Chain A
Amino acid sequence: MSDSTIDLRGVMCPINFVKTKLKLEAMNPGEILEVILDSGDPIQNVPKSIKEEGHKIVEVKKEGDFFRLKVQRS
């Protein structure tokens, strides 16, 4: 279960990361955000940037050519 979802398919780097960051900042610590990301550049970059911000990626699922991540807000 997630507390919120953000679909970033078609959103370019680094805007996808910035949107994720802003969304997470609006949430409470410990809450889960579901992030949908394209494969390629987005999945190469966004997860490491989320990690660098101190949030935790708790689940990753590949669905065709996109990824569904569950991120726990720090």
Chain B
Amino acid sequence: MTDHFIEDKTTKVTVAVDNTGAQKVDFNDRKSGGFIKQRQKDLFTVRLRCPGGRLSTEKLLEISKIAHKYSKKGVVHFSFRQSLEILYVDYKEFSNVVAELEKIGQKVASCGPRVRVPTACGGCEYNPNGLTDTQKMADMVDKTFFGTPTPHKFKTSFSGCPIDCARTKEMDMGFQGVVDPTWEEESCTGCTICSEACKEDAIASDPDTGKPIFDPVKCLFCGDCIRACPTEAWKPKRYGHIVRIGGKHGRHPMEAVEVCSFLPDEKVPEAIKMTIDWYNANGKRGERIGNALKRVGLDNYLKYMEPVFQNTAKAGA
């Protein structure tokens, strides 16, 4: 299948800069990218690497100073993937910008066919709906996989709950938090709050006792019943991730398919590593993993992934 979405290389600086005779920046050394050409002559956007869109206020203050110094227009922009971009930077000043950012421990992001900076919602650290530590996971993916070459771009994201703010269905590989609820009859008073709290009609109340009748087929594993239960009769049995593969947006969006319904935290790195390996072995240059899956077949991928995805029984089972 032809892929129409290869980034226009003429708009990226990766090669252009070295031919200017101006200050040299060693792009080979830097996994390249993160500098995006603007309409304006000589001016570029410098995209920073902010996994999960999180920054310490201390670092943000320092970035502000650098952005104020180098942006000819004094503006920044939040990219669609949560990273801060310094706009209107003159390419002749790249080395200085990079050096100053380096000093405060701030890296520049990437473009092109490689693993991109992961995005994530707030997660369980402070969001009441959050089931997984999405920020920690995004940080792990950034540290372990950022910049790994792939046939085309490879975007990942982490959502902490089924509301899916991080849009895992639109990612090359997305992870969405789930919790498996379990119910103990002894502590249940039949108050019916759980069936009211459930937005999916997965819990009915027994007309006589008020006790829950649970339908795992309707359940989205959001944990609302657990949080609402006054007596802790509903409890979390285990937390994990739904894994989705092959999504993308762009001119021809594709929805990712669910390939694992309950992957524990500790298996996430292996799942990503194996997926990248499969993609590199099977994907054509310039082909997103979703198209590779269509061409080669999802079964091929699932068979390859069996060692990671096996024994990750469906939630509610």
Contacts and interface: CB of A to CB of B under 8 A. Distances in A.
Interface of A: 39, 43-44, 47-49, 51-52, 56-62, 67
Contacts, number: 40
B5 to A, nearest CB: 41
A56 B192 CA distance: 16
Given A48-B228, A51-B227, A51-B230, A60 B197 contact: no
Contact of B230 (A39, A44, A57, A62): A57
B196 interface: yes
B189 A60 contact: yes
Nearest to B190: A60
Given A39-B196, A60-B192, A47 B128 contact: no
B228 A44 contact: yes
B128 A43 contact: no
B205 to A, nearest CB: 9
A57 B228 CA distance: 10
B279 to A, nearest CB: 40
A1 B136 CA distance: 46
B199 interface: yes
Contact of B193 (A49, A52, A56, A60): A60
Contacts of A52: 128, 227
B191 interface: yes
Interface string B203-237: 00000000000000000000010011011000000
Contact of B196 (A44, A58, A59, A61): A44
A48 B129 CA distance: 11
Given A52-B128, A60-B189, A60-B191, A67 B196 contact: yes
A67 to B, nearest CB: 7
Interface centre among A56, A57, A60, A67, by most chain B C-beta atoms within 10 angstroms, is A60
Nearest to B128: A52
Nearest to B231: A57
A62 B189 CA distance: 13
Contacts of B230: 47, 51, 56-58, 60
Contacts of A44: 196-197, 199, 224, 228
Contacts of B128: 48-49, 52
Contacts of A48: 128, 197, 224, 227-228
Contacts of A62: 192
17 contacts: A39-B196, A43-B196, A44-B197, A44-B199, A44-B228, A47-B197, A47-B228, A48-B128, A48-B227, A49-B128, A51-B228, A51-B230, A56-B230, A58-B230, A59-B189, A60-B189, A60-B191
